[in-house]
Amino acid sequence: MPRYFALAALLLCGVAASALAATAPAPAPRPAAACPEGADWNMPAAPLRIYADTWYVGTCGLSSILITSPQGHVLIDGATEKAAALIEANIRALGFKVEDVRVILNSHEHLDHAGGIAQLQRDSGATVMALSAAAGALEHGKGDRGDPQYLSIEAFPAIPHVKRLKDGEEVTLGPIRLTAHATPGHTPGATTWTWDSCQDGRCHHMVYADSLSAYTDDVYRYSDEAAHPGALASFRQAIATMAALPCDILLTPHPDASQMWKRLGPNATLPLVDETACHRYGAAVTARLDKRLADEKAMPEKEKAAR
Ligand SMILES: [Zn+2]
């Protein structure tokens, strides 16, 4: 019996030690240097805690979000192919292990958010999960004509295996619980992720709202209902879905889209927690979509015909 208890105690200690390794940040995190607005995609950023178990491990110009737990971590977005090494260095600088990343998620299937995922998957052994509408493009490294930027955007390293998720599906890992919200428009597979982060009994609704910018290769027209039936209506619905989410802390794949460097880090002058943020972001992207539709309408008829 005593041997049994000794073994049990050892096992318990082992569990406690590995739990500590997974949750404790480095003892004295170096002070984060400020990221400028409009920063280059591959400009290194110091990692920082956003709130509770949610950390920023991206570059100055592109977000990558780490959500940690004793049972492993979830990483959202891999930025560019070149940035993967910076993301891995940031995860380590916080005292976490890249090998403890168990799940990798993505905002949308473009090289500036999915480009580093193949390497991150290789180095961590994590499972990559995405909505079905994004999964094919992630596995090929490029979308199809349903992507408004199909003709102008470059390919990215293909991701070998992507687990398909449905709209509204939950991804769970230990205490972490995220929900996938289909928010198509910028790309067909664009996904907004939500979860709650809690600290000292205080929980915040976290929203990683995907890009909702109406940006095209100029051959794709949002107003061309015949070529893309239902796409414009889905885009407007996506914006409405995002804007109506319970939203305390808004994060975006491009930090500038939600003024993240004014709300996070040493240059912050605005509050990080703002429950009107998603609503205001929705108004901004709606104005951009309306402007794009007006531009398409103003396009000369013969130019339209040529397209
Ligand atoms: Zn994009």
Q: Express each pLDDT in 128-183 by its tens digit.
A: 999 999 999 999 999 999 999 999 999 999 999 999 999 999 999 999 999 999 99
CATH of the domain at 255: 3.60.15.10
Res 87: pLDDT: 98
Residue 106 lies in a domain: yes
Q: Is residue 145 part of a domain?
A: yes
Q: Is residue 33 part of a domain?
A: no
* 6 assigned to some structural domain: no
Domain for residue 139, yes or no? yes
Domain that holds residue 216: 38-306
* Cα of 112 from ligand 1 centre, angstroms: 7
- The total of structural domains in the chain comes to 1
Strand partners, 250: 207
User: What is the full DSSP assignment across 234-248?
Assistant: HHHHHHHHHHTS--S
Burial (CB < 10 A; 0-12, 13-18, 19+), residue 93, is middle
118 pLDDT higher than 50: yes
Q: 213 CA to middle of ligand 1, Å?
A: 8
**4 assigned to some structural domain:** no
Question: Tokens in use for 276?
Answer: 């009107």
Distance set, CA 135 to CA 69, 114, 160, 227 (Å): 26, 11, 10, 22
pLDDT over 50 at 93, yes or no: yes
Catalytic option among 73, 113, 181, 204: 113
Active-site residue, 254 included? yes
Residue 55: inside a domain? yes
| Predicted confidence (pLDDT) at residue 270 exceeds the cutoff of 70 | yes
Question: Is 220 part of the annotated catalytic residue set?
Answer: yes
| Residue 3 located in a structural domain | no
**Which residue in the list 220, 222, 248, 281 is annotated as catalytic?**
220
Instruction: Specify whether 279 is catalytic.
Output: no
3-class DSSP state of 232: helix
Please write the tens of the pLDDT for every residue from 198-232: 999 999 999 999 999 999 999 999 999 999 999 99
Pairing, β 162-165 against β 127-131 = parallel
What pairing do the DSSP bridges indicate for beta strands 170-173 and 162-165? unpaired
CA distance 21 to 96: 7
Q: How far is the C-alpha of 130 from the C-alpha of 138, rounded, in Å? A: 9
108 is catalytic: yes
